[in-house]
Amino acid sequence: MAPPLTPSQVSIIKATVPVLAEHGNTITTRFYRSMLEANPDLKNVFNLTHQVTGHQPSALAHALYAYASNIDALGNLSAAVELICHKHASLYIKPEQYAIVGEFLLKTMKEVLGDACTEEILDAWGAAYWGLADIMIGKEAGLFKEAKGWDDWKEFKITRKEKESEEISSFYLEPVEHFELPIFKPGQYISVQIFVDELQLWQARQYSLSDAPGKPYLRISVKREKGLPIDTKDPKVLAHEGYLSNLLHATKNVGDVVRVSHPFGDFFYEEKEVGKENPVVLISAGVGLTCLMSILNTLTSKPSSRPISWIHVARNAGVRAFKAHLDELVETNKNLKKVLFTSSPGEQEVQGTDYDIKGKMDLDQVNKEDLFLQDDAAQYFVCGPVQFMGTMEKKLKSYGVPSERINMELFGTGGVPRV
């Protein structure tokens, strides 16, 4: 267990905030390159797409900046630490890997900053790093304990593969060696690990579970990612396709086997007051609907009078997943209302049938009764691109909804900037 930082070390860390603002991306980009060159086995752990695009170094640079800025008020980072620990647990990060990261991070800071990075600064950052690492290792140990023995990748067979839209397909996964699946919390995710021949590496990605818990399978619904933007000024290098989403869509079929982690994730639905059916509003954009579909299927799995609103935006009917399933749920659950936005409807789409409102999602156009703004127990769950979530949170707060009742999920690296 690392000793607490001294007042002098805290002062040193806070003094390096401007340095991280200026040199953070340079440090983290070089850090990942040198660490992975010296430890090629770690390439099986880190997301190589995010390395190519520059998203991972950028996310780490922002994290270091936030850590230094809040070194004397780490409670401000508790939500971010919780998010990261769940992701680490889903990738089965080991305590000894923290030592490798710490070694190369400090080494790279010295290389980039040169003489400006004194021994006192290195000592302070070493102490700060291990203080945070100890917290995270402890939290992750607790998550592994909750997994009750599912402490490594397990092989699952694809038993069904269903096309949900032009971009999204669902994969039903059942364990090769039969065991009782855990009752996950609706909204959580699993990691799926596949060997990528092109890279000669294992790669893993987190995918939200898109059905209710308690089934004999785990279902994920995956969007085929055409490409992620690369941080470069070279106009010829525009995007990098997601390895796993394309492999799942193009090469994985019924009977194929993938590796799967225990469900994790700090974004989930949970009863706030047992026995009280508080309203729930589910707001999503694009593939962000997957985790919310798990919540919706859970809420509608038994008779209830709980008010539920499903509000979703898609580009057009072709890319909107689960439309037929949603229509069936609305028909059989009188307590469920839906509002569908379509930003660019096709010529054959009919308003009132294929969608309700044309344009980007604007909560001002939603009947306020369907947002349950007068109920101080209503819960709001939001998932989609970061900018979308920030816009939705800002609008909900303008209606008087407090932050503690607004739950947001993020796909990819980094965190959701709260407004």
Euclidean distance between CA atoms 158 and 173, whole angstroms:
5
Nearest to 48 by CA among 368, 355, 413, 419: 413
Which candidate in 32, 67, 92, 98 is catalytic? Answer: 98
Token pair 């905030």 in the structure block, residue: 17
Please provide residue 209's backbone torsions phi and psi, each rounded to the nearest 5 degrees. -75, 130
DSSP state of 5: P
Can you say how many angstroms the Cα of residue 50 is from the centroid of all Cα atoms in its chain? Answer: 14
The count of residues in the chain is 419
How far is residue 296 from each of residues 283, 329, 346, 416, measured CA to CA in Å?
Answer: 11, 9, 27, 23
Euclidean distance between CA atoms 169 and 173, whole angstroms:
13
Token pair 């080494």 in the structure block, residue: 107
Euclidean distance between CA atoms 383 and 290, whole angstroms:
9
Active site residue 355: no
First and final CA of the chain: distance in angstroms?
Answer: 35
Which candidate in 32, 92, 140, 355 is catalytic? Answer: 140
Crossing angle of the two packed helices 55-69 and 78-90, in degrees rounded to 10: 140
Euclidean distance between CA atoms 255 and 271, whole angstroms:
37
Token pair 């979703």 in the structure block, residue: 312
Active site residue 92: no
DSSP state of 244: H
Nearest to 219 by CA among 161, 267, 147, 266: 161
Nearest to 207 by CA among 270, 293, 79, 312: 293
Sign of CA dihedral 366, 407, 267, 88: positive
Please provide residue 402's backbone torsions phi and psi, each rounded to the nearest 5 degrees. -75, 155
Q: Which residues are catalytic?
A: 98, 140
